[in-house]
Amino acid sequence: MWKVCKKALDRDKTIFEPSRLVIIRPHELAAIFSDDNGPIPFPDFEERFKMTRAHGRWFVNSDFEIGEPKIISPLIIVKAANQYGKSLQSFLNLIKRVDGYDKDKLEKRQLLLAMVLANRPERFLKVNDPENWKPIVDYHLMRVGLRLGIVELSTRQRYLIKNRLWVSMEDEDDVRLKTRDSVQEIIKLSGKPMSFVD
């Protein structure tokens, strides 16, 4: 995905501007996500298309203000975060208001974006508060937490997982939250950063 997006950006520097995303048509989005074999066959293309337009619409219609100028853009959010004493925490607080990042209570999307922005050679996000890196709780981290025994499950949850039975969204969210809390406790007790613990 990185390569096809970079290729699209090289062809048109404004392709990912919110004002373009809000009016993008399905065939234009499909053209962006194409390689030498044609469009990449995403099974959820319609959902991705709706999210792309909603993301652009949020920026175009936002009354979100961070000083001057009044027009908000992803670049302005990053620049504003870099001006605060705790740039990472500020970025996470600002970006969680953006459509597409606003419903992720464990901040996985926000943290992944922050990680990319902070670790690119350009260092777009200048993290001056590394203590605010939180665990990015994916299935791998959940599995490791369960295998290491740092996550305590109820008897019912243990039975479901041990027997590879269907686990409800509520139980999955519970395991995810417990994993996050356990890893944060390890970070706190060890004094090691998230990257080391991970």
Q: What is the pLDDT along the chain (198 residues), one digit of tens a residue?
A: 889 999 999 999 999 999 999 999 999 999 999 988 888 888 899 999 999 999 899 888 877 666 544 557 888 899 999 998 899 999 999 998 888 888 888 888 899 999 999 998 999 999 999 888 888 888 899 999 999 999 999 999 999 999 999 999 999 999 999 999 999 999 889 988 777 887
pLDDT on residue 70: 56
In three-state secondary structure terms, 38 is: strand
160 and 190 together in one domain: yes
73 and 113 together in one domain: yes
Range of the domain at 109: 65-129
Establish if 77 belongs to a structural domain. Answer: yes
Establish if 134 belongs to a structural domain. Answer: no
Non-local (6+) Cβ contacts of 44 within 8 A are none
Establish if 107 belongs to a structural domain. Answer: yes
7 and 41 together in one domain: yes
- List the structure tokens of 147: 């295998």
146 and 180 together in one domain: yes
Please name the helix (run of DSSP H) or strand (run of DSSP E) that holds residue 29, with its range, or none: helix 26-32
CA separation for the pair 124, 57 (Å, rounded): 24
In angstroms, what CA-CA distances link 42 with 28, 30, 48? 15, 9, 9
Per the structure, the count of domains in the chain is 3
pLDDT on residue 62: 77
Last residue of a domain, one of 129, 149, 177: 129
In this predicted model, what pLDDT tens digit does every residue of 82-125 receive, in sequence order? 998 899 999 999 998 888 888 888 888 899 999 999 998 999 99
pTM: 0.76
Q: Which of 137, 136, 146, 132 is nearest to 188 (CA)?
A: 132
